[in-house]
Structures are given as C-alpha cells and as structure tokens.
Amino acid sequence: MLKKTIQPQDYAPGSKLDVLPGKDPEVRITLKRVPVVEENGKMIPVCEPTLKGNELKYLKECVETNWISSTGRKIIAFEEAFAKKVGAKYGVSCTNGTTALHLALYVAGVVPGDEVILPTFTMIATPNVVTHLGATPVLVDADPYTYTMDVGKIEGKITKKTKAIVPVDIYGHPCDMDPILEIADKHGLAVIEDAAEAHGAEYRGRKIGSISDASTFSFYANKIITTGEGGMITTDSREFYEKARNIRDHAFSEDRHFWHKYVGFNYRMTNLQAAVGLAQVERFEELVGARIRNAALYNSLLNDIPGLRLPPEAEGVKNVFWMYGLMIEDEFGMSRDELRKQLADRGIETRTFFIPIHLQPVYHKLFSNESFPVAESLCARGLYLPSSSGLGENEIRYICGAIHDIREGARL
Ligand SMILES: Cc1ncc(COP(=O)(O)O)c(C=O)c1O
C-alpha cells in the first residue's frame, strides 16, 4: 500500500493522491551480511561527490592569497572552462541553479503577468522562479518515453501572455529541442533551458548548454560537476551575457559606483566555490563518462528482470544519466515503495522520482482542471538507484544482485 503523506483536503477534487510516494525508508548503516557495505563502513548513498582532483589545492590557493569572495581569478577561469565544455561562448556563474534560472528568466524579460511554459515533471525550483518573477507557470505533461516535456503538448498551451518556454533535461536526458525551438521561433518566445541535471549531454550532435537562448546548470553536491552549491547560465549572446553579469551583481553601473539603473540581485559565486568547480571541470569527461559507464553496467545487469523499465535514451541524443532511474511496472511483483524498503534494508539508498508540480500543495489549485497522466505514472512508479560518478563496479553488482534477490523473493 502506498502511504499518503498529504491529507485529501489539501487537494482539489479529482487529484490523484494515490500516486504519491510513501515515507522514505530508513537505510541501514551496518549490515553484517553485506560485505560491500561493510567494506566502506557505510550505506551506498544515492549520490555523493568525488573531489579527488585539484579541488583542495585550488581552495588552498584562495585561502593563502586571501581571494575568498566573489572577485578572483578562479571565477573567470571556471566560467570560461565550463562554458567551453558545454559548447557556449559565455558563462555567468551564480550562487546555485535556482538563482541562475531566476536570473536568466529575468534577463529574458519575464515580468509579472507573463506565462511561462514548463514541464510538470520537474524539480520545484523550475516553477518557483517563475512565481517569484510574478509570472504564472503553465504546465505540460511528460513524454512517456523520455520523461522530458511532451513537445506535442506545448503549442496548445500558448496564449497572448506566454513569454518563454523552459524545457528541463530530466535526469540528464535532453529534451527534444528542435521542435521546441521551432515553436518558440514561430511564436516569438524565449527558450531558457533548465539543464541543471545535464552536464555533458548532447542533442543531435549539439552540446546541451549551447542550444537555447540561455541554459542554466546546477552545481549542487549531487550534480555531475559540483561546487557544493553553485550554478551557471551559459549563452552565445553577448548581450544576454553582459546583462546577466551586471544584474547578478546588484546592477552596479560601469560609469559610477553605487549607481543603479536596474533592480539587481546578489547572485555572485565565490572564488572558493569556483576553485572547486575549476578542479571539477578539469575532470569533466571522466565524471560524465563514469555516469554513462555506470548506466551501461546497470542496464546489462538489470535488463533481464521483467517489470523493470530501464532509463531511456532517445535516438540522436547523449543521455548522461545524472541519476539512474527505473520504473517499477506491475510485472515486477511488488510496489516501488516496497522495493525501496527492501533495498534500504540492504544498505542501499534510493529516491523516488519527482512529485509533479500540479500535485504540490503549493501549486495544485492552479491546475485542478487539468490532467497529467504520464507525470503521475512516473511519480507512482519511478525510483533512482545510487548514481555517483565514484560508484564502484562491485557496488553496482551488489545493488543489481539485491534487486534480483528481492524480485525472486516476491515471486515465492
Ligand atoms: C531540474 C532542476 N532545476 C533546478 C534545480 C535547482 O538547482 P539548485 O539546487 O542548485 O538551486 C535543480 C536541482 O536539483 C533541478 O534538478
């Protein structure tokens, strides 16, 4: 039985309460019968950073030279290096992925009263920045195969108030960008891509980060490239870049200090964060490649289990598998939540897929007359397995062995 975490009265009539995940199971830390877990003296977390390059060296340089704030060489170096890796001309670092998206939409001209089209199957930061700008999020259901925005459903949502489309590259899988750009072009809309989860991904030979008017990335500790907290806007537009840099820093005027022509933000990254980021970018291919290798090993060890839908990779795209997501179908023989519990008992942490935006207590009233069946099915059945770039082959084998055992147990 799926546990209900929110009371029925919190929802508009007709909402699908039964798709909500149950409470997160407690993950066991010490399990004598699990050698791989004992070896590490801990559970296998869903994600952890690997800081094994020049991170400490560059941080030490910042401390030793006193450059710890938001001016410093590491910031420019990190912006240039990251933008280059994602095929963009310019990078504007920010305090996190949320502020990067907020700033990008502000620079794109989103103002109160506008509408912004985005997927319901995303993380809460995507609609929240739209709301903070005084605009209204307009939701589109997920594509049943890629889990990204269903491009066939975008045009029906465009009104006179629509200002921008925000495609989200879910779990590292790029959106179908060509039709999105075509629709945006036809209707004169900005495309600001939320690429928080998709460092290194590609769409039809083009790098994610270089396709949209602007793209935004997160460098939170679970991201493929991390700075602890951090984010970046990438763009090919000099004008967008200059405006974003200026607004990020209180919109100080160049001609006179303490002179402000725009309402700015302070979304500046520190030299300390950029030091970590620079060291991470030096290992860009290694860190992205590890995610892809992990996914290939998981696929090979899980593809014979009935009732498991493995993560997608549409033709012509490079999915970087930020998180290795599975859909648990009826044929598996037990619910997603029961599988999570049994994996937790074996020291394996998992996460459920996102709870769609239209089901969130803070947003559901706006969408009570609409239906988003694909996102709800993803919410009811999806989980992701440990996905760190530093995950060992023995750990993946252990996790897959556990899933095989659990399914066998379910059939007895
Ligand atoms: C799709 C998406 N957008 C935005 C964000 C926000 O990024 P941050 O946590 O760095 O603010 C995240 C974070 O996980 C995300 O997954």
CA of 123 to the centre of ligand 1 (A): 7
pLDDT of residue 318: 98
Distance in angstroms (rounded) separating the CA atoms of residues 139 and 120: 5
In the predicted model, is pLDDT for residue 229 greater than 90?
Answer: yes
Q: Which of 288, 318, 316, 312 is nearest to 299 (CA)?
A: 312
pLDDT of residue 39: 52
CA of 305 to the centre of ligand 1 (A): 32
CA of 108 to the centre of ligand 1 (A): 19
Atom of ligand 1 nearest to the CA of 230: 10
Write the CATH number of the domain with boundaries 8-48+284-411: 3.90.1150.10
Residue that the structure tokens 């990335």 belong to? 217
Atom of ligand 1 nearest to the CA of 122: 1
* Cβ-based neighbours of 373, under 8 Å, separated by 6 or more: 141
pLDDT of residue 37: 52
Atom of ligand 1 nearest to the CA of 218: 10
Most distant CA atoms of the chain, gap in Å: 76
The mean pLDDT value of the chain amounts to 93
- Which residue has the least CA distance to atom 10 on ligand 1? 97
CA of 244 to the centre of ligand 1 (A): 19
What is the amino acid identity at position 182?
Answer: E
pLDDT of residue 412: 65
Domain boundaries of the chain, sorted by first residue: 8-48+284-411, 55-281
Mutate-to-test residue for ligand 1 from 46, 47, 98, highest number of ligand atoms within 8 A of CB: 98
Pocket of ligand 1 (CB under 6 A): 96-98, 122-123, 125-126, 168, 194, 196-197, 218, 220, 231
Mutate-to-test residue for ligand 1 from 129, 193, 218, highest number of ligand atoms within 8 A of CB: 218
Distance in angstroms (rounded) separating the CA atoms of residues 128 and 145: 26
Q: Where are the alpha helices (DSSP H) in 50-163?
A: 55-65, 73-85, 97-107, 125-132
CA of 98 to the centre of ligand 1 (A): 6
CA of 41 to the centre of ligand 1 (A): 30
Q: What is the pLDDT of residues 148-204, one digit of tens each?
A: 999 999 999 999 999 999 999 999 999 999 999 999 999 999 999 999 999 999 999
Q: Which of 179, 180, 177 is nearest to 209 (CA)?
A: 177
Atom of ligand 1 nearest to the CA of 101: 4
Atom of ligand 1 nearest to the CA of 223: 14
What pTM did the predictor assign? 0.93
pLDDT of residue 35: 46
In the predicted model, is pLDDT for residue 210 greater than 70?
Answer: yes
Q: Which CATH architecture has domain 55-281?
A: 3-Layer(aba) Sandwich (3.40)
SS3 state of residue 136: strand
Distance in angstroms (rounded) separating the CA atoms of residues 318 and 339: 29
CA of 202 to the centre of ligand 1 (A): 19
